[in-house]
Structure 1
Amino acid sequence: MPDINVGAQIFDLVFHPSHSTVYTGLLTGEVKAFTYDEQGNHENKFSIRPSKKSCRGLTMSESGDKLWAVGKGKALYTIDTATGEISETRKAAHDVAINRVKRLTPNLLSTGDDDGVVKLWDPRKPDAVRTYTHHFDFISDFLWLEDKKHLVCTSGDGTLSVLDVRSKRTDPFAQSEDQEDELLSVVAIKGGQKLVVGTQLGILSIFNRKSGYGDCVDRIPGHPHSVDALCNLPSSYPSAHSTILTGSSDGLLRAVQLLPTKLLGVVADHGEFPIERIAVDLGGEGRWVGSAGHEEVLKLTDLREVFEDEDKDSDAEEDGKDEAEEEVEGQDGSKENSEVEATKVKASEGKAQNQDSDTDSDSDDEEGDGIGETEKDSDKEDKDSADEQEQDSSDEEVQTSRKRKKKKEQDPFQIAKRKKGRNEIDAEPSFFADL
């Protein structure tokens, strides 16, 4: 699909849960909506400017009828997606600029600002339901765990915290130790049992919920620059429970399989522009992945084309290996058959020659008068020994050919399998060039 030119840098994007519509929050403070189709055509649905200051975060209701926007203006705006107009404004929702917003339940929102303050909001009430102040640097991302009603927050102060929204306490349910790096993004894998956190140094930190949130259980290097955005792959794809999409400041959108770790490929390339946000349409189960960087365009990439091409390439490689193996086996079989036939021909020729020598000796016996019985016996013994030698040689050749048939030649197309390390990434050398 052609890139959608929005006219300004994109800070955040969100897809409609059921329609082919994408909403973008821009540096200019505008919120623009675009519709698209499978043929790559798109058009501007509406454009609204709630604030003159930048729009940093967007989130949408479960039905898609409301859109919430936050930004540098410190206010929380509610936009009606049907009319494209502002239906409600909460001014001074935070004391400083708001960095992130996320819908948790139909009647609960969360916002995080540049000072690390997290607030919970009920859209039916004018004031915040609860305020958390345990972080001291900007809130970079939110993750909602539906099974436990927990809100996971990542912060620039290097810690990850978990909030139990059912509790009335204002301290976190759990908070990790200082990871000595800015935590920029978070996503869940393995059915929500493990959390993947992107960091400023390009390392993916793995947290295990069963082991607690005190510290990460694994660290996966490989990205040459910071991992600013993370997203899950639609569940219809193989290994979707352990495969994520990563947006890095080097401008590459990658598909990475974790545990075991493997780089599946590059999904999109933004050139020299860092990737700020990525999302998959239709509630994360669609075919289009949207990625936004600093180049004032929204890039929509068809996941089907990316992963189907990889599947076709792998199938073609396997077919090529099978054909090569069949060809080698066919050559071996024809060679062995020709050797056996040559052995049989030699044996038949030897028998024919022996028969000719027998007829000649018989005619000589009839013509000559001085040949005795001893000479006939010696000729017969010589003939028998010659036949035995000929038969032995033919048996040896047949046995040799059988041995060759049993022996399998080494397949030149067979790649030797190598045991991978625990966190080793199968990638091109250029992937680690900047480490």
Structure 2
Amino acid sequence: MPDIPVGSQIFDVVFHPHEPIVYTGLLTGDIKAFGYDDQGQHQAKFTLRPSKRSCRSLAISEDGSQLWAVGKGKILYTIDAGTGKLTDSITAAHDSPINRIKRLMPHLLSTGDDEGVIKLWDPRKPEAIRAYTQHFDFISDFMWLDDKKQLVATSGDGTLSVMDVRAKKTEPFAQSEDQEDELLSILPIKSGTKVVIGTQLGILSVFNRAKGWGDCVDRIPGHPHSIDALCALPSSYPSSHSTILTGSSDGLLRAVELFPTKLVGVIADHGDFPIERIAVDLGGEGRWVGSVGHDEVLRMTDLKDVFEDEDPEEENDTGEREESVVDEDKDEEMESDMPGDIDGGEPTISVSKRRLEVGSDDEETTSTKDASDAEDSDVPQTRKKKRKKEKDALSGKAKKKGRNQVEADPSFFSGL
């Protein structure tokens, strides 16, 4: 599908749960909706600008009838998702700019601001139900555990916290130790038994719910830059339980399989612009993945083109390749004995047939914006990286290997 230009930096993207409609929240404060079809055509549905301050985050109701928006203006907006009309607003919902919002249940929302304050809302009421203050830095992402009715929040202060929304206490149910890194994104994997977190240093931290929330049980290095967004694959794909999509500040949208760890491929490339958010349409079960960043376009990628064109005979053409794949159950049994960081061995990594673009960190440029956008920007003006070709980025020690198999050092994404 061709890129959908929106005219400004996009902070968030959400899809209608049942219809081919996508909503974007922009730096200018605009909320733009687009319809699309399987042939790659798109058309504008509506544009609404409830505030001149940036719209940082969006959430949509389960039936797709209502849209909620928050941002730098500290206001919680309720919008008719069909007509684009503003139906309600709660002014001064937070004392600081609101960074994230998530729908938890039909009449329960959560919001998190730049100072680490988390609030629960019934959108039918003008006041917050509860407020939590255990964090002291921005709230970066939320995850909802429906089986326990618990809300998990990640923060720039290096910790995550778990809140039981059924309890009346304003203290969290659990809070992790300081992970010594900004936690930027969170996603459940392995049918919700484990949780993976993207960090500022490009490490994927894995938490095991059965072992508690005190500390991660595994750390997977490799991304050369921060992992700002995570997204699950549709459940129709066999590897969806352990394959995730990662959006990084190096502009690459990757598919990464965990347990065993391997890079499946690069899904989309935003060039020198970091990726802010990624989402899959139709409630996470569709064919299109939308990725947004600082390049002022909504990039729509067809997952069928990426995951349904592999030749199974070629994947199993040699016995050596089959032996190189670590048994998943065995990997999980060994997980508790693994060190906090993977730095000792040389894991075998299977790379897909697709040629992956290789880059380097040698050249740095800063993104130029016009003065008004820079003044109202809600994200640090980070230095952007230009990528160029490197020789033998994934080469390893000489060893007998299958046709599509290479040996690589632990930082197997470096240079991508």
Q: TM-score range by the shorter chain?
A: 0.7 to 0.9
Query: Equivalents in 1 of 2:192, 2:241: separation in Å?
Result: 9
Look up the match of 1:234: 234
Look up the match of 2:182: 182
Query: Equivalents in 2 of 1:137, 1:425: separation in Å?
Result: 38
Superposed, 1:179-218 pairs within 5 Å as: 179-218=179-218
Residues 110-167 of structure 1, C-alpha deviation per residue, up to 9 Å, x if partnerless?
0000000000000111100000000000000000000000000000000010000000
**DSSP-derived class of the 2:70 partner:** strand
**DSSP-derived class of the 1:47 partner:** strand
Query: Equivalents in 1 of 2:183, 2:267: separation in Å?
Result: 23
425 and 275 in structure 1: CA distance in 2 versus 1, 3 angstrom threshold: farther
User: Identity across aligned pairs (percent)?
Assistant: 69
Using the size of structure 1 for normalisation, the TM-score is 0.76
Look up the match of 1:426: 349
Look up the match of 1:96: 96
RMSD over aligned CA atoms reads: 1.7
**Structure 2 stretches lacking a partner, 5+ long:** 332-337, 352-392, 395-411
Query: Equivalents in 1 of 2:203, 2:100: separation in Å?
Result: 22
Looking at secondary structure, tell me which structure has more strand per residue.
2
Shift of 1:414: 5.7
Q: Which runs of 4+ in 1 moved over 6 A?
A: none
Query: Equivalents in 2 of 1:316, 1:161: separation in Å?
Result: 44
Query: Equivalents in 2 of 1:72, 1:35: separation in Å?
Result: 27
Number of residues of Structure 1 aligned to a counterpart in Structure 2? 340
Shift of 1:107: 0.6
Looking at secondary structure, tell me which structure has more helix per residue.
1
**DSSP-derived class of the 1:304 partner:** helix
**DSSP-derived class of the 1:241 partner:** coil
Shift of 1:293: 1.1
| Paired residues of 1:12 and 1:276 also in contact (CA < 8 A) | yes
7 and 215 in structure 1: CA distance in 2 versus 1, 3 angstrom threshold: same
**DSSP-derived class of the 1:283 partner:** helix
| Paired residues of 2:260 and 2:325 also in contact (CA < 8 A) | no
Query: Equivalents in 2 of 1:243, 1:434: separation in Å?
Result: 21
Using the size of structure 2 for normalisation, the TM-score is 0.79
Look up the match of 1:252: 252
Superposed, 1:219-368 pairs within 5 Å as: 219-309=219-309, 311-312=310-311, 314-316=312-314, 318=316, 321=317
Query: Equivalents in 2 of 1:58, 1:198: separation in Å?
Result: 20
198 and 45 in structure 1: CA distance in 2 versus 1, 3 angstrom threshold: same
Look up the match of 1:55: 55
**DSSP-derived class of the 2:308 partner:** helix
Residues 213-256 of structure 1, C-alpha deviation per residue, up to 9 Å, x if partnerless?
00001101111111000011100001111111000111111111
Amino acid at match of 1:171: E
Larger RCO, structures 1/2 (Cα 8 Å, 6+ apart) = 2
Shift of 1:425: 6.6
**DSSP-derived class of the 1:305 partner:** helix
| Paired residues of 2:58 and 2:101 also in contact (CA < 8 A) | yes
Shift of 1:317: 5.7
Query: Equivalents in 2 of 1:66, 1:17: separation in Å?
Result: 11
Amino acid at match of 2:10: I
Q: Is 2:127 the partner of 1:127?
A: yes
Amino acid at match of 1:153: A
**DSSP-derived class of the 2:124 partner:** coil
**Structure 1 stretches lacking a partner, 5+ long:** 322-412
